[in-house]
Amino acid sequence: MTKIDPQEPPCMIEAVGTTERIRRAYDLWSAIYAKVAGPLEHGPRLRALELAGIQPLDIVLEVAVGTGAILLEVLKRVDKRKIVYGTDLSPKMLHKARQLAHDEGHANLGLYRADARQLPFRGEAFDVIYSSYFLDLLELKDMPPVLDGFKRVLRPGGRLVLVNLSKEYADKISWIERFYLWLPAAWVPYLLGSCRPVFMQELVEAQGFIEVKREFIRGLTHSEIVTARKPSNSWHR
């Protein structure tokens, strides 16, 4: 049993679940997500937000806002005149996020129902992109184009912060992976949200990001935080 070797590509199982099935599952999850999954994800998400180093004048995009817990924290950190942007595939998740922000007195937000593979924003629009527990539900083939989309909408020098379900050992199947593989594919989005352990550091580096770092967080479900920066001399149309 060995820990992650930077010279060997980490082992990741393939995702299951169609986009539409995942959307339906998260629509159902929206009613209880904050109470069920929220406590497991809260610590890694806040740590990632700390690493993001969000400044009052930053323009921030959160991809996969869920019920809006982190969106609310971002709104507290930026100037009240700044719009905070967010996307999610699930309209019911977006409704929860919008309601939470409004209940806390925040109106400057732009929320969009969108597939992260086709972000509806112009190039070089954001100083920070934050995304948690999203890339771990994508098929392997979709990860590079999604990361390239993040790079496209980041400004030169912009920061990328990712939180994912992960595992400590690359060559050992985790209990979540065993359960994931045992379940009928149609059930995975509803029981596990389609998430399984992933390793994003090498993929982020392969997409041309710099200063890529990984922080591993142990828990009932282990997580990783990957931070990176878009090169200052890089640009996308």
What is the C-alpha to C-alpha distance for residues 179 and 182, in angstroms, rounded to an integer? 5
Q: Six-digit token pair at 194?
A: 């389609």
**Interstrand relation of 109-113 and 154-165 (parallel, antiparallel or unpaired):** unpaired
- pLDDT of 159: 98
Whose tokens are 């060997």? That residue is 8
Mean of per-residue pLDDT scores for the chain: 88
Q: What is the pLDDT of residues 139-184, one digit of tens each?
A: 999 999 999 999 999 999 999 999 999 988 777 788 778 888 877 7
Task: Supply the pLDDT for residue 28.
Answer: 82
- Whole-Å CA distances, 75 to 91, 139, 213, 228: 20, 31, 25, 22
**Where do we find the tokens 């359960």?**
179
Q: Does domain 19-229 have CATH number 3.40.50.2000?
A: no
Instruction: Tell me how far apart the alpha carbons of residues 129 and 54 are, in angstroms, rounded to a whole number.
Output: 10
Taking the domains of the chain in order of start, what are their residue ranges?
19-229
Give CA–CA dist 153/122, Å, rounded. 6
Q: First CA to last CA across the chain, in angstroms?
A: 45
* Reported pTM: 0.89
What is residue 6's predicted lDDT score, i.e. its pLDDT? 41
pLDDT in tens, 87-106: 999 999 999 999 999 999 99
